[in-house]
């Protein structure tokens, strides 16, 4: 059976199919230089016959002595993630992906945004993002499909309970098939991951949807957005969907050029707006279930997100905030009761 391997795992020297990796992350970093010239460093100490800046030092042979920057990084915390090294495509939720690390970094520097929020993560995989949402969110539902993925996710959430002073009792791992609307408690293969009445009661205050690195297959992306639109309609309190993804480029025999088909298809599901454009994202009215829903998307520049994990954060990684265009001119609405 053909398997896929996450780029995050390429540098891990592990012969086991399943391993536990410790991911250190930084809350802050600062740079300082060594070999700085002191303020009392006299210019006459420099060899004669050479005109150099006061900020340049020469060695005994007259060559420029380079100042090598030394970064002081404070490792604030770490989390341990149990994951598979490579899996079939259907089990990619057992791996750690770069899109998840990017969104985790967004969470780390956006604590105020998620403070007190109820968050539903779609395609939660290993639980890495959910574990980092735990310290700030009021309640987190980490969802996926497949008992092996759900058990591994629950194990990782529990293993990293030290990240949240209040524990992880407010983090629930639940099974959610995007093809099945969440209209009632869902019967699952394991009672541990089954939705209950208390879960649905908490979902009435849903604030955000999250999907980290779930865009890699066109039909699956269609199903994702069908699920998202249902959740937006069912829970009007939900402000937006955050999607982190990687543009995976492949050579197309049809177009005879390199194309990111999954990414291009993803972009057809919403209309992009400029980051500076003010668009209200709170839904003040109840959406008509029979009317088409128009989605807008605003890209969040990765340059504004500090890199907290050590990985290859390429320019192909993107983060989007997607929300309902609730203006009366663009979609049919009915007044909320």
27 falls within a domain: no
Q: What is the pLDDT of residues 96-118, one digit of tens each?
A: 999 999 999 999 999 999 999 99
Q: What is the pLDDT of residues 179-219, one digit of tens each?
A: 986 755 455 556 789 999 999 999 999 999 999 999 999 99
- The Cα 35–Cα 19 span in angstroms is 41
- The Cα 210–Cα 99 span in angstroms is 12
- The Cα 177–Cα 103 span in angstroms is 22
**pLDDT computed for residue 57 by the predictor:** 53
11 falls within a domain: no
- The Cα 201–Cα 185 span in angstroms is 11
256 falls within a domain: yes
Quickly state the pLDDT bin for 33 (edges 50, 70, 90).
Answer: very low
The rounded percent of the chain whose pLDDT value lies above 90 is 61
Specify the range with the lowest mean pLDDT, choosing from 9-18, 230-239, 240-249, 265-274. Answer: 9-18
Q: Which residues touch 7 (CB under 8 Å, ≥6 apart)?
A: 97, 98, 312
- The Cα 162–Cα 131 span in angstroms is 10
45 falls within a domain: no
Q: What is the CATH classification number for the domain harbouring 146?
A: 3.40.50.150
Quickly state the pLDDT bin for 273 (edges 50, 70, 90).
Answer: very high
Number of domains in the chain: 1
| Of the candidates 322, 224, 215, the residue with the CA atom closest to the CA atom of residue 272 | 322
* Domain carrying residue 284: 88-334
54 falls within a domain: no
**pLDDT computed for residue 48 by the predictor:** 35
144 falls within a domain: yes
Average pLDDT over residues 49-76: 50
Specify the range with the lowest mean pLDDT, choosing from 53-67, 101-115, 126-140, 256-270. Answer: 53-67
**pTM of the predicted structure, to 2 decimals:** 0.80
72 falls within a domain: no
pLDDT higher than 90, residue 249: no
pLDDT higher than 50, residue 247: yes
Give the angle 221-222-226 at the CA atoms, nearest 5°.
115
124 falls within a domain: yes
Average pLDDT over residues 303-310: 94
Task: Give how far Cα 87 sits from Cα of 18, 90, 91, 200, 237, Å.
Answer: 10, 8, 6, 32, 37
């Amino acid at each position: 059976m053909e398997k896929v391997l996450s780029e995050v795992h390429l540098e891990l020297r592990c012969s086991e199919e399943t391993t536990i990796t410790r991911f250190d992350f930084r809350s802050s970093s600062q740079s300082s230089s060594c070999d700085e010239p002191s303020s009392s460093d006299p210019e006459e100490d420099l060899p004669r016959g050479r005109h150099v800046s006061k900020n340049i030092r020469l060695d005994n042979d007259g060559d420029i002595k380079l100042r090598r920057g030394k970064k002081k990084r404070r490792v604030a915390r770490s989390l341990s993630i149990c994951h598979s090294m490579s899996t079939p495509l259907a089990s990619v939720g057992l791996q750690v992906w770069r899109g998840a690390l990017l969104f985790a970094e967004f969470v780390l520097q956006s604590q105020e945004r998620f403070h007190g929020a109820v968050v539903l993560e779609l395609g939660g995989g290993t639980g890495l993002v959910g574990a980092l949402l735990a310290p700030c969110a009021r309640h987190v539902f980490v969802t996926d499909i497949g008992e092996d993925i759900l058990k591994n996710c629950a194990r990782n959430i529990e293993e990293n309970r030290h990240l949240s002073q209040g524990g992880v009792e407010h983090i629930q791992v639940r099974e959610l098939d995007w093809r099945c609307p969440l209209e009632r408690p869902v019967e699952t293969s394991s009672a541990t991951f089954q939705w209950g009445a208390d879960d649905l009661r908490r979902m009435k205050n849903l604030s955000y949807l999250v999907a980290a690195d779930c865009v890699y297959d066109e039909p699956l992306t269609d199903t994702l957005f069908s699920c998202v639109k249902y959740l937006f309609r069912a829970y009007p309190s939900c402000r937006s969907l955050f999607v982190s993804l990687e543009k995976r480029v492949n050579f197309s025999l049809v177009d005879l050029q390199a194309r990111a088909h999954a990414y291009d298809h993803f972009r057809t599901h919403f209309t992009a707006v400029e980051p500076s454009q003010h668009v209200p994202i709170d839904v003040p009215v109840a959406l008509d279930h029979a009317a088409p829903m128009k989605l807008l998307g605003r890209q969040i520049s990765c340059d504004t997100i500090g890199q907290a994990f050590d990985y290859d954060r390429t320019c192909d990684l993107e983060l989007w905030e997607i929300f309902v265009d609730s203006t009366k001119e663009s979609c049919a609405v009915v007044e909320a009761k």
